[in-house]
């Protein structure tokens, strides 16, 4: 299988996993940078993640222009993906979702921070992007490159960010890593709400987060990926890289 086809298969699987694990519902999306062209990315047409097939995956320029739409309608919020690939040459996958546990942290001023070993991957800080600050009253959707770039600027060198009243965005150096971070971002949010209801929370220290991230390699991602694939009814494909 060509690298291009392998990434398309990987994206179909990622969509199914995110849906099955409750990270996306009928909305939300996951993309991959084009394996042969750094200035393009691959993302499904506008469709519920659980229903996505290989033929739904479209190619886009970083500006969000479809390369060969063939009548397929793209997601309005595709600009999130292009802006992040533009700002972060090292990343190869982006997830955008509205996972429910993260929403309270975007609207209350309570910062989401890793408190569980498995959740260190969300990064030291999960900043909150408030579209209202720069773009005033909108429908909150990231519907232009200007909005995408503003969001990417807030993400900075980080791994995840929340979007006030809307959802979250996660970046990774592989599709598997981005899915992993998105899943553990939601888990951390749920656990943090439970912990905060009980009292003061001792979060992971900066050193602990660095130590855990240093150990997380494709071996860890693949172990979870195999399990998530089976749960989502997909076959795990062997890749050269995690």
Give the nearest distance from C-beta 97 to Zn ion in angstroms: 8
Measure the CA–CA gap between 96 and 137, rounded to whole angstroms.
21
Measured from the CB atom, the residue of 17 and 162 that comes closer to Zn ion is 162
Measured from the CB atom, the residue of 167 and 172 that comes closer to Zn ion is 167
Give the nearest distance from C-beta 202 to Zn ion in angstroms: 32
Site string for Zn ion, 101-140 (x = CB under 5 A): ----------------------------------------
Of residues 167 through 186, those in contact with Zn ion by CB under 5 A are 167
Measured from the CB atom, the residue of 48 and 239 that comes closer to Zn ion is 48
Give the nearest distance from C-beta 239 to Zn ion in angstroms: 28
User: Among 50, 77, 86, 208, which one carries the catalytic annotation?
Assistant: 77
Task: Confirm whether 10 is a catalytic residue.
Answer: no
Find the part of the chain contacting Zn ion (CB under 5 A) among 33-41, 111-119, 151-159, 166-174: 166-174
Is 16 within 8 Å of 50 (Cβ atoms)? Answer: yes
Find the part of the chain contacting Zn ion (CB under 5 A) among 49-57, 77-85, 118-126, 217-225: 77-85
Measured from the CB atom, the residue of 46 and 212 that comes closer to Zn ion is 46
DSSP 62-128: TTS-BSS-TTPPBPGGGHHHHHHHHH-TT--EEEEE--GGGHHHHHSSPPP---SGGGGGG-S---E
DSSP 143-157: -SHHHHHHHHHHHTT
Give the nearest distance from C-beta 225 to Zn ion in angstroms: 24
Measure the CA–CA gap between 227 and 78, rounded to whole angstroms.
29
Buried b (16+ CB within 10 A) or exposed e, 113-132: bbbbebbbbbbbbbebbbbe
Measure the CA–CA gap between 180 and 18, rounded to whole angstroms.
9
Structure tokens at 109: 């001023």
Site residues for Zn ion per CB under 5 A: 77, 167
> What amino acid positions are annotated as catalytic residues?
77
């Amino acid at each position: 299988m060509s690298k291009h086809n392998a990434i398309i298969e990987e994206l179909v699987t990622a969509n199914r996993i995110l849906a099955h694990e409750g990270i996306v519902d009928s909305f939300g999306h996951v993309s991959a940078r084009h394996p042969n062209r750094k200035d393009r990315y691959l993302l499904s047409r506008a469709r519920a993640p659980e229903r996505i097939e290989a033929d739904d995956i479209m190619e886009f320029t970083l500006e969000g222009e479809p390369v060969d739409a063939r009548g397929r309608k793209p997601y309005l919020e595709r600009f999130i993906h292009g802006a992040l690939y533009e700002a972060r040459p090292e990343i190869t996958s982006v997830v955008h979702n509205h996972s429910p546990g993260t929403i309270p942290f975007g609207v209350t001023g309570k910062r989401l921070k890793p408190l569980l070993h498995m959740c260190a991957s969300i990064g030291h800080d999960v900043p909150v992007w408030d579209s209202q600050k720069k773009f005033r009253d909108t429908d909150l959707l990231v519907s232009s490159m200007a909005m995408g770039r503003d969001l990417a600027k807030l993400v900075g060198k980080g791994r995840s960010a929340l979007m006030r009243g809307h959802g979250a965005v996660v970046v990774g150096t592989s599709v598997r890593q981005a899915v992993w971070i998105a899943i553990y971002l939601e888990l951390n949010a749920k656990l943090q709400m439970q912990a905060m209801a009980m009292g003061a929370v001792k979060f992971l220290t900066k050193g602990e987060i660095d130590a855990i991230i240093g150990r997380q390699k494709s071996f860890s991602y693949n172990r979870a990926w195999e399990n998530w694939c089976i749960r989502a009814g997909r076959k795990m494909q062997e890749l050269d890289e995690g």
